[in-house]
Structure 1
């Protein structure tokens, strides 16, 4: 029974890894990414809700003094 020749496996595997790496790099380089990921400033007017127009204080029953 003949022996399996494994002398070329290293070169084959390394060339496959290099080829995959180059292909992925070429595929990724096609995309355009924004220069800065900061969000754009939007000029929106803040609308006040009815409960923001007046200052109120809510007392919880546990914070009231004992009677």
Structure 2
């Protein structure tokens, strides 16, 4: 039974790692990274809604007239 020749495995694995490293570096360097977001100062916004300026009556379902 012949022996498996493993003398070229080291250079094969090493060249694979180097080529994968170069490939990933090229892929990562092509991405555009956005700059750090700066905080935006927001003032208090007052919203005017119709129910804030007038009194509204809340009707309970039992206080409504019977529905026929």
Q: Give TM-score, length-normalised by structure 1.
A: 0.58
Identify unmatched segments of 5+ residues in structure 1: 49-67
Aligned-residue offset at 1:47? 4.5
Work out which of the two has the higher radius of gyration on C-alpha atoms and give 1 or 2.
Answer: 2
Residues 1:24 and 2:24 are matched in the alignment? yes
Identify unmatched segments of 5+ residues in structure 2: 47-68
1:35-46 maps to which residues of 2 (within 5 A)?
35=35, 37=36, 39-46=37-44
Q: Give TM-score, length-normalised by structure 2.
A: 0.57
Aligned to 2:33: 33
Whole-Å separation in 1 of the counterparts to 2:17 and 2:27: 15
Alignment size in residue pairs: 46
